[in-house]
Amino acid sequence: MRSHAWIPVVALALALGLPAGAGPARAANVFALVDTGELYVSGDQGTSWSVLSTLPVPDAAGLLAGSSSLQLFLAGRSGSVYLSSDGGMTWTAVGALTASDVVDLAIRADGDLLALTGSGTVYTSSDQGATFTALGALTAPDCVSLAPGSSGNLYALTRTGEVAESADDGATWTVVGAIPVSDAVSLRPMGTSLFVLTGTGLTYRSTDSGASWTPVGTASQVGMRGLTEVDTQLVAVTREGLTARSTDGTSWTWVGSVNQVEVVALANDVPQVTGIPTEPGTATRLLLSPPRPNPLAAGQALRLSLSLPADDRVAVQLFDAQGRRVASREAVALAAGDRAEMRWDPGIRAPGVYFLRAAAASGAVASARVVILD
């Protein structure tokens, strides 16, 4: 078997549990999908890496989160779709597309899963990837990226720079703008802007929903492969796994390396559906902002901020990466509101990745990832 230092990476995903602008974010975890089937994870924004699990698909094309940072969808280029309910530890085959050129995944405003093919067909699934239906197709060939905008409309990008918009959940598409390039790689939103990264590192920005584009900077590297947004920062990756960050796409700072080659995608696991009522019919929606501080030093107390539509009692539990409960706090009464605050010291724990679960007496549940340091 080859040394892990030379295993080709086929996808990356930045882990984040908070939409842009929703408050202080926890430290990012980065997932690296490699073609030998391992899932690598970094808890320090891409500086160091370890193997988290083994993937069931050798041709990963996209990864994103559904209703929480623990619910991840994975698609292979050949159309196979897998679901993880524990943040990437284990995976279950849920369905498949009748396509062999899947390039990206997204989730639209109603929670349905979307898949884009290189030939321009958009597929949708309303049953978490079990079955798919073809929607409208883009007229421009060689599609590379799919993403929702801040308005809820969908945007698709072709390699030759055409940007198409759909205002009806992917049923019909209209080309609204174009960038004069031949190597567009990825389109991602940040706040109310859209950003496009090219293979030569050029970064373009649109503030009018894709109608016009302005070159704002360059990552000063060739072979760029992916772009995502992490806590109001853009993160880009090269084919060889070098990662860079920028606050606005104008200037970039190189921050780390996956120490792999052949990276083909970058994504984050920001929950695409807000609120996590895990039981069917649960009316209460419990929202948990990322815990602070995060990473958490041993002996520090977590500050938790929850949004409750009604007065409730909320209990908190902490699970390790193997799914074992390692700490818990009894339910406490919290008043309704957008920022119900709770402080909790989970005790001295071994350094690593943990999962926090907040459960309300009404039945609603929300989750977040926590990194504990030495």
Least Cα distance to 14 among 323, 256, 334, 349 occurs for 256
- For the domain spanning 4-268, the CATH number is 2.120.10.30
Per-state percent for the chain, helix, strand, coil, to nearest 5: 0, 50, 50
What is the model's pLDDT at position 2? Answer: 36
- Which residue type, as a one-letter code, is found at position 361? A
- Between CA 179 and CA 175 the distance in angstroms is 12
What is the model's pLDDT at position 264? Answer: 62
What is the model's pLDDT at position 36? Answer: 65
Report residues of the chain scoring pLDDT below 70. 1-30, 34-37, 42-49, 51, 67-68, 109, 231, 260-261, 263-285, 321-323, 338
What is the model's pLDDT at position 116? Answer: 95
- Between CA 114 and CA 104 the distance in angstroms is 8
Asked if residues 233 and 245 have their Cβ atoms less than 8 Å apart, the reply is yes
- Which of the following CATH numbers is that of domain 287-372: 1.20.59.10, 1.10.150.110, 2.40.50.140, 2.60.40.1930? 2.60.40.1930
Handedness of CA 46, 51, 57, 63 (dihedral sign): negative
pLDDT tens digits, one per residue of 137-189: 888 779 999 998 877 789 999 999 999 999 888 889 999 999 999 999 999 98
Q: What is the DSSP string of 305-347?
A: EEEESS-EEEEEEEE-TTS-EEEEEEEEEE-SEEEEEEEE---
**pTM to 2 decimal places:** 0.68
**What residues does 175 pair with on adjacent strands?**
164
Where along the chain do its domains lie?
A: 4-268, 287-372
- Between CA 136 and CA 166 the distance in angstroms is 9
What is the model's pLDDT at position 44? Answer: 66
- Between CA 108 and CA 125 the distance in angstroms is 10
What is the model's pLDDT at position 105? Answer: 93
What is the model's pLDDT at position 14? Answer: 42
